[in-house]
Amino acid sequence: MADLHKAIRAIHNNVVSINGDTQADIQAIDDNNQVVTIDWTQVNAWQDPQAYQYKRQQAYESIKEQLDMLYWDKINGTNNWETMITTVKNLYPKPTE
C-alpha cells in the first residue's frame, strides 16, 4: 500500500527500502541495512500533506474542457471556469502550516 510506505518514509527518515504491503508484513530497512522498528501509532495517524492536491486533480475538468470553458466565458461574459475552480479549491483546501 503506497500510503503506508509514504507514511513510514515521512516518519522514519532513515528508511531506504520497504518490503511488503500491509502492516502485518511490512519490513523497513535503514541505510545501515538494519530493520527499522516502525512506530505504527504515528504511521496510522499520519496525514499526507499533499492529499488535497490529488483530490483536486481528480475533481478538476480536463485542460481541454477548461480551455473550452474559458473560451465560452469570454464569448458569453460568464465566469463558469472561475466558479468551477473556486468550488474545487473550497472543497479541497490547502492545509495551513
Q: Is the pLDDT of residue 12 over 70?
A: yes
Looking at residue 68, what is its pLDDT? 98
Q: What are phi and psi of 30, to 5 degrees?
A: -95, -175
Residues forming beta bridges with residue 35, ordered by sequence position: 29
Instruction: For residue 97, tell me if it sits in a domain.
Output: no
Task: Kindly report, residue by residue over 49-85, the tens digit of the pLDDT.
Answer: 889 999 999 999 999 999 999 999 999 999 999 999 9
Instruction: For residue 75, tell me if it sits in a domain.
Output: yes
Q: How many domains, the chain?
A: 2
Do 59 and 40 belong together in one domain? no
* Residue-wise DSSP of the chain: -HHHHHHHHHH-TTEEEEE-SSTTT-EEEETTS-EE---HHHHHH---TTHHHHHHHHHSPPHHHHHHHHHHHHHHT--HHHHHHHHHHHHSPPPP-
Do 79 and 63 belong together in one domain? yes
